[in-house]
């Protein structure tokens, strides 16, 4: 048992103690990289600073938390804690990569209540009067910063054993394929609820809950936990993304830190939209006539979705998924305190407000 586990009573406290080490690892690596590249030329550090700004802006650290939960609940050897911490930090860098690229794909102006990287650097270009198009410059900076975050993530998983590294490769591949299908289905306007669910699971659910848990358990040498963590993670990961869709559609931007209705304005084929399209032709007509700013049409779509009780159906789906996740973890070969903690986390994750 590690010093952290000896001194701290609850699973949540043990996990949070390691999470603080994850934050230290993130800050330390980014500070070193900023110093390194600033010494070459202050401009060379700009992509690093873009990553650092996003990392420092907050976030729930869900992916690192699930990775560490997988490791600790599996009884991970204290000698492997640094590897688990690095893997958890890598997941946060991978998340930064996904967010930086996602904000460009969605043309989102806000992330966590702050101006997005591509918008911020477009403004810098515009104010300086540089040559070229400000929008393209800003998008270029964000894309390169995202790529850099991905490189940092890969650097931190260098000590993983082959089995854990395979989980890592699968996780990051799923994110990118899921993102592609997300924009492809939006372009084609395919109203297929099952496909929408699969995309949500692939682009977000698996890399938020399922794969991080399995990765943490693998670092601890507990591959026997894979079936239980897969059932739990698949259900909770889908619930997580469905809640994200509801927050996007109906949430308070002051709480969520991002614009409300962005999925509607971007014509994303979420489960909300595809179910509504199947039931009411007005949805297709509104989507076909969107101006692109999403202001009026987004509100119209939100009202149609509410009138059709699609919102209620998605809420019921979330309830069912949480029950599935809790049933899966109740039967897992874990200590009772960890089964209780992961059951609690399922509720906290699925019913969050941001």
Residues of the chain with CATH 1.10.600.10: 1-158, 160-354
Reported as a single tens digit per residue, the pLDDT across 94-146 is 999 999 999 999 999 989 889 999 999 999 999 999 999 999 999 999 999 99
pLDDT at 89 over 60: yes
Looking at residue 292, its pLDDT comes to: 46
Pick from 208, 213, 207: which is nearest to 230 by CA?
A: 213
Q: Picking from 140-154, 189-203, 274-288, 296-310, which range would have the lowest pLDDT averaged per residue?
A: 296-310
Q: Is the pTM of this model over 0.85?
A: yes
7, pLDDT greater than 80: no
Q: Which residues pair with 110 in a beta bridge?
A: 115
Q: Which long-range contacts (CB under 8 A, 24 or more apart) does 22-27 make?
A: 22/61, 22/64, 22/68, 22/85, 22/88, 22/89, 22/92, 23/61, 25/85, 25/86, 25/89, 25/156, 26/55, 26/89, 26/92, 26/93, 27/55, 27/56
Give the mean model confidence (pLDDT) for residues 60-76.
98
Secondary structure class of 77 (helix, strand, coil): coil
Note the pLDDT tens digit of each residue in 292-336: 444 457 778 888 888 999 999 999 999 999 999 999 999 999 999
Q: Which CATH code fits 160-354?
A: 1.10.600.10
All residues at 6 or more sequence positions from 52 whose CB lies less than 8 Å from its CB, including other chains:
30, 34
| Separation CA 17–CA 190 (nearest Å) | 45
Give the pLDDT mean for 241-258.
86
Q: What is the per-residue pLDDT for 191?
A: 85
Contact 89, 25 (CB under 8 A): yes
What average pLDDT does the structure give for the chain? 92
Q: Is the pLDDT of residue 290 over 80?
A: no
CATH superfamily entry for domain 1-158 = Farnesyl Diphosphate Synthase (1.10.600.10)
pLDDT at 246: 94
């Amino acid at each position: 048992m590690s010093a952290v586990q000896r001194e701290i009573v609850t699973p949540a406290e043990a996990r949070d103690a390691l999470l603080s080490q994850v934050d230290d690892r993130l800050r330390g690596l980014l500070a070193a990289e900023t110093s390194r590249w600033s010494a070459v030329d202050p401009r060379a550090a700009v992509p690093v600073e873009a990553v650092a700004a996003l990392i420092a802006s907050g976030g729930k650290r869900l992916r690192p938390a699930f990775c560490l939960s997988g490791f600790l609940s599996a009884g991970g050897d204290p000698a492997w804690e640094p590897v688990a911490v690095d893997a958890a930090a890598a997941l946060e860098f991978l998340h930064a990569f996904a967010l930086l690229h996602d904000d460009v794909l969605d043309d989102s102006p806000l992330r966590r209540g702050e101006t997005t990287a591509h918008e911020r650097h477009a403004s810098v270009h515009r104010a300086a009067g540089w040559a070229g198009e400000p929008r393209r410059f800003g998008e270029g900076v964000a894309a390169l910063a995202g790529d850099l975050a991905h490189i940092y993530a890969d650097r931190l998983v260098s000590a993983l054993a082959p089995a854990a590294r395979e989980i890592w490769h699968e996780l990051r591949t799923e994110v990118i394929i899921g993102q592609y299908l997300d924009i492809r289905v939006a372009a084609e306007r395919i109203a297929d609820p099952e496909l929408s669910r699969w995309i949500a699971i692939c682009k977000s659910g698996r890399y938020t809950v399922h794969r991080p848990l399995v990765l943490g358990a693998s670092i601890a040498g507990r591959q026997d936990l894979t079936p239980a963590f897969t059932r739990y993670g698949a259900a909770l990961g889908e619930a997580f993304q469905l809640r994200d869709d509801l927050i996007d559609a109906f949430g308070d931007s002051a709480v969520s830190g991002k614009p409300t209705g962005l999925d509607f304005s971007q014509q994303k084929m979420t489960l909300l939209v595809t179910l509504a399209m199947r039931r009411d032709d007005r949805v297709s007509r509104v989507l076909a006539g969107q101006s692109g700013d999403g202001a009026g049409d987004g509100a119209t779509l939100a009202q149609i979705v509410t009138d059709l009780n699609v919102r209620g159906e998605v809420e019921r789906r979330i309830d069912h998924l949480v029950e599935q996740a809790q049933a899966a973890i109740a039967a897992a070969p874990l200590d009772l305190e960890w089964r209780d903690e992961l059951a609690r986390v399922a509720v906290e994750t699925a019913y969050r407000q941001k």
